[in-house]
Amino acid sequence: MNIKILFVEDDDRLREVLLEAAAIEDYDAQGVATAEAAVERLRDEPFDILVTDVALPGMSGLDLLRHCPRLRPGILSIVITAHGTVDTAVEAMKRGAADFITKPFALDGLLGTIRVAAERAARTRAVMQGGAGEGPAGNLIAAAPAMRKLLEEVRAVAPFRTTVLVTGETGTGKEMIARAVHQLSPRSEKALVALNCAAVPEQLLEDELFGHVKGAFTGAQSGREGRFEQADGGTLFLDEIGDMGLPLQSKLLRVLQEREFEKLGSSRTVKVDVRVVAATSADLQRRIDEGAFRPDLYYRLNVVNLRLPPLRERREDIRPLAEHLLAKFCASTGLPPKTISDDAWESLVSYRWPGNVRQLQNAVERAAALTGANTEIRLQDLPEEVREAAAAPAPPAPAPKAGTQPGGPGDRVDFDAVVTKVERDLLLQSLSRTGGNKMRAAQLLGMKRTTFVEKLKRLGIEWEKESAGAEGE
């Protein structure tokens, strides 16, 4: 994968050196002398990484950072600051820079920093575009601001071993997001093992998760590895976690806390290094109130909550999703490429989609199949309930109530939960931005390193060392 880098440096000689070094490393690099020129370039070309000097004639490098999210969402910026200007570096990080280096720098140091960013950029691209592998998480469409923000969150939490809980209505793309977390993590080369807790009867679920030894029960003629062992070093995706029974919830809690367990029929403790991503479309808070879900397990799983908005709250996604799903379906079934008529679009965009993306996918695929060799999908090819939406457009969805999110749907505001979530987000963001360097991350939040580390521990945040990430201990 060819990573595109833009260098913004007014010193002609230094810019040349940077470009040569990047060429040797096989990056596709370009250089400009001013921030104004960079804005033009960023608008025209899909750069992955921006490396900018702070002091520039005209617009400064720091001001350039402010334009980045609009010009190139997701671009990773590295800022070059003069030696001894910690404040500038901190300011740069606050404005979204992924990292900084101080002048004068050794070329090796800069290339190392770029390499870390390039690895992250490559993983992000693989997820956004499907990449060569075209994995199940490939082609993740995220046009709506709410989805873009969610992807930013995915990228921020991916480098941690921290447990992630993905919530959202049925068909919103929870599994896709879970896969993206894995793909963007340092574990991406290792296995992603998935288990749908609702699809396996309770008595078998324990065996599925932890495995058994020979003779553990009648008929156990040989031993068997559970999903936790299969996922060792990688990620375990536990889908529909809300359907797990209470006894097994206790066992799961223990693995999350101790990272060890015993197989059925054995007293030997097995240790594993697994990152758990859980998903549910159930309202776990309500399950807790009903006594069907352990609150302590909920807090363990919910270290980070990625909440997928329903499709009706991100209508900007409907068109690109429908186009993408339609093209994919036609290509895979040998149908000709198809377009969608204006009135059909109107109802697709105004329908409520209670079944979310999955329902949209079904509607589009059904219409594509129905129309056979025709190359246009018309209003009458859409399911009846969708067609009616054009006649009577749905009322706009009520705005979500502020402050209720950590507790899931409902009117209660849980003050502690909200504060904890904000705290957690800040810690994660600062760590993520500094590549796990706790000293810098603490600085960024204006707190002592020891206080910072204490908070990490209390909130159960664990940083995984990235291959080239500095620990700063």
Ligand X SMILES: Nc1ncnc2c1ncn2[C@@H]1O[C@H](COP(=O)(O)OP(=O)(O)OP(=O)(O)O)[C@@H](O)[C@H]1O
Residue ranges in contact with ligand X by CB under 6 A:
139-142, 168, 170-176, 281, 321, 357-358, 361
The distance of closest approach from Cβ of residue 382 to Mg ion in the complex, given in angstroms and rounded to an integer, is: 24
328 versus 449: smaller Cβ distance to ligand X? 328
The distance of closest approach from Cβ of residue 235 to Mg ion in the complex, given in angstroms and rounded to an integer, is: 15
Residue 66 CA to residue 54 CA, distance in Å, equals 13
What is the sign, positive or negative, of the torsion defined by CA atoms of 352, 354, 358, 362? negative
Residue 178 CA to residue 158 CA, distance in Å, equals 10
Structure tokens at 299: 């807090």
The distance of closest approach from Cβ of residue 174 to Mg ion in the complex, given in angstroms and rounded to an integer, is: 5
The distance of closest approach from Cβ of residue 338 to Mg ion in the complex, given in angstroms and rounded to an integer, is: 27
Give the distance from CA 67 to its chain's centroid. 23
Residue 308 CA to residue 181 CA, distance in Å, equals 14
Residue with smallest beta-carbon separation from Mg ion:
175
308 versus 348: smaller Cβ distance to Mg ion? 308
The distance of closest approach from Cβ of residue 196 to ligand X in the complex, given in angstroms and rounded to an integer, is: 8
211 versus 242: smaller Cβ distance to ligand X? 242
- x/- contact string, 169-198, with Mg ion (CB under 5 A)? ------x-----------------------
Residue 290 CA to residue 298 CA, distance in Å, equals 14
| Binder of residue 361, out of ligand X, Mg ion, none (CB less than 5 to 8 A by kind) | ligand X
175 versus 365: smaller Cβ distance to Mg ion? 175
317 binds Mg ion per the rule CB under 5 A:
no
| Binder of residue 313, out of Mg ion, ligand X, none (CB less than 5 to 8 A by kind) | none
Helix or strand run (H / E) with residue 32: strand 28-32
Residue with smallest beta-carbon separation from ligand X:
173
| Binder of residue 430, out of Mg ion, ligand X, none (CB less than 5 to 8 A by kind) | none
| Binder of residue 281, out of ligand X, Mg ion, none (CB less than 5 to 8 A by kind) | ligand X
Structure tokens at 336: 């000709």
Residue 135 CA to residue 108 CA, distance in Å, equals 34
Closest among 406, 170, 182 to 302, alpha carbons compared: 406
| Binder of residue 406, out of ligand X, Mg ion, none (CB less than 5 to 8 A by kind) | none
Half-sphere exposure of 388 (CA within 13 A, CB side): 5
Classify strands 260-262 and 269-271 as parallel, antiparallel or unpaired.
Answer: antiparallel
Return the residue matching tokens 């991100």.
314
Contacting positions for Mg ion (CB under 5 A): 175
